Structure 1
Amino acid sequence: MSDASPPPVQRRILARELRYLRERASLTGDDIKDRLGWSPSKISRIENARISVSEGDIELLLDLYDATPGRRERLLSLARQTQTPHSWRAYTDGTREFLTFMSVEAIAESIRQWEINVVPGVAQTEAYARHLITSWRAVDPTLTPRQIEERVSIRMKRQKRFFPPESSRIWMILDEAVLLRTVGSPAIMSEQMRKLVDFSELPNVTLQVVPLAQSRSIIGESFTLLNLDEGDPLEQCLVYIDGNVATQFLLDEQQSVYYEKTFEQLAGSALAPAVSREFVANLARS
């Protein structure tokens, strides 16, 4: 039965991934009908996120599509996340898209991020994160000290997957303004710069800085590109827009291509990773 409410973002992402795998396997709805006994309309409803799909049905499709073990694990994990994890209770007032972002971030093989406002959460110090989160009380006076500490804890735990044994890949490009904007105090900023330097030295982390003096035509908003299977050159990334007022996932293929190209252009205008690391290190010493 089709749900009356709009499909959750996770279901839309899962639908897109299943459609991609079917097309990559060169299978049609009639092929699925012959092999699984399903009607083509069922496949259409699944791939358009009009109905929920059971974990058992997902496993049948992944078998048929010859999905890699890693991709199978990630998609099944995404399918299981039908409710907000209890550990994220501090974010129950957040948008559905941001909660989904944390779900996808946790299973993505690689992440690319362009940031114009603040240091990305996965590279923040505890003091920097606490000041940012506490500052939200100016617009949300209902935010309690307990919720603040829970959100800080969640942010710190999100960082663990970029260290061994997981060592997920992340490529961050920061506008220089992010590094010059004081958050909290000079002491907090100095500690944050040192952490960025240490983080950038990990073999799975790439950090670049776009100097303010660098001429560029792309300004735009902060965004994150997430790839569930880095080894698949044909896979389209998932695009997450982190706006000042609203956040959203963009799942359209053309939009994915646009943001991929935008990220490439930003990387080309940024300082090289080694130069960027020294740039940040100089800020930490100043």
Structure 2
Amino acid sequence: MHDSPSARERQLARELRDLRVDAQLQGKEVARLLGWSASKVSRIETGAIGIRPEDLELLLDVYAVPAPRAERLRLLAPNARPKGWWDAYADRTSAGYANLIRLEASSRAVQCYSAVIPHPLLQTEAWTRRVILATALDPSPAEVDLRMAICRRRQQLLQPAPDREPLRLAAVVDQAVLHRSVDPDPEVDRALRLELLRHLLRLGRRPNITVQVLPFSAGIPPVTAGSFSLLEPRGLDAPDVVYMDNKTRIFFLDSPTEVHAYDREMALLRTMALTPARSATWLRDAVRSTA
């Protein structure tokens, strides 16, 4: 199996960043030399945008890359990146979010820890709407509809398709998520939490999804900063990027040291959490007590 386009592009982005650092150049200096904006250099190096072959040649020249390495780098940058469903949303979302859905769509597996709210791949439609509206920014109806449509499309990755295997998802959900009130009306709140509990039970029955509950009794989780996810691109056997998102920005970590640290923390979280079977029992008991 070959690397996904996004994996190749991100490898190229990392190598271009390393070449600039080795050449002892700042991003703004490269931009000045090539007549680009500094943001263009940054976006290429973070993988937020692809790189055109002609722009790659300019960078290879500026960094005086030896011919053998230059040829290898050219192989990482196909002339035209294949279009995907995410391209329809690229101009309607932030660069970070557009990059996230592209990377997720080209991944073979996702591991996630949900500390406050369910991961988008785990949410019901009602929860997605509540999460979107939980802000002081007052998003427009069009913005709400757009974000909900993207979330629905992301969740389709969990279903098998003719051209790909379903995305594998290993989720650890903190008990706090399942006790959080989401509506001031007690009956509405109960109905929403009951719907989520049943939804998690159904997801956990799928062969490509595991759901584990991290109970309060397990103690303090090793990652006290909150939720995070690890993406494993097709063609790789280990995660190679971590992401965390908040209301205004998505943070990507891709250095091997940081990714390895979060991979170890995820392994510890899965050990602390109830097993998938015991989690299913916990969720069924929660359904009975909530209904």
SS in 2 for 1:249: strand
- d(CA) in 2 for partners of 1:99 and 1:129? 18
- The counterpart of 2:77, out of the listed 58, 76, 99, is 58
1:140 counterpart residue number: 137
Q: CA RMSD in A?
A: 3.3
Instruction: Identify unmatched segments of 5+ residues in structure 1.
Output: 16-37, 48-52, 61-74
Amino acid at match of 1:12: T
Superposed structure 1 runs of 4+ greater than 6 Å apart: 44-47
Question: Percent identity between the aligned chains?
Answer: 23
1:266 CA displacement: 0.7
Between the aligned partners of 2:246 and 2:72, the Cα distance in structure 1 is 30
Tell me, yes or no, if the aligned pair for 1:208 and 1:273 is still in contact at 8 Å: yes
Residue 44 of structure 1, CA deviation: 6.8
Contact 1:10 1:100 in 2 (8 A): no
Aligned-pair distance for 1:13?
A: 4.8
Which of the numbers 223, 226, 234 marks the counterpart of 2:231?
226
Tell me how far 1:243 sits from its aligned partner.
Answer: 3.8
Instruction: Name the residue aligned to 1:271.
Output: 274
Assess, with a 3 A threshold, how the Cα gap between structure 1 residues 11 and 109 changes in structure 2: closer, same or farther.
Answer: farther
Quote how far apart the aligned CAs of 1:245 are: 5.6
Are 1:221 and 1:243, in contact at CA under 8 Å, matched by a contact in 2? no
- The corresponding residue for 1:40 is 66
Q: Aligned pair count?
A: 232
3-state SS of paired residue (2:217): coil
Q: Normalized against structure 2, the TM-score is what?
A: 0.69
Residue 282 of structure 1 aligns with which residue?
Answer: 285
How far did residue 272 of structure 1 move?
0.2
- Mapped to 2, the partners of 1:39 and 1:153 lie a distance apart of 43
Q: What are the Cα deviations for residues 217-237 of structure 1, in whole angstroms up to 9, with x where unaligned?
A: 5123211100113x644x552
Q: What runs of 5+ residues in structure 2 fail to find an aligned partner? A: 1-33, 50-63, 184-188
TM-score normalised by length of structure 1: 0.70
Cα displacement (A) at 1:215: 2.0
CA contact (8 A) 2:233 2:239 kept: no
CA deviations over 1:239-268 (Å, ceiling 9, x no partner): 102246642101111101111111111111
In 2, distance between residues paired with 1:159 and 1:10? Answer: 28
Q: 1:251 aligns to what?
A: 254
5 Å-filtered alignment, 1:1-286, equals 1=34, 3-6=36-39, 7=41, 12-13=46-47, 39-40=65-66, 43=69, 58-59=77-78, 76-77=81-82, 85-87=87-89, 91-92=92-93, 94=94, 96-136=95-135, 139-141=136-138, 143-165=139-161, 166-184=165-183, 185-216=189-220, 218=222, 219-229=224-234, 232-233=236-237, 235-243=238-246, 246-285=249-288, 286=290
Deviation for aligned residue 1:269: 0.5
Contact 1:221 / 1:242 at 8 angstroms: preserved in 2?
no
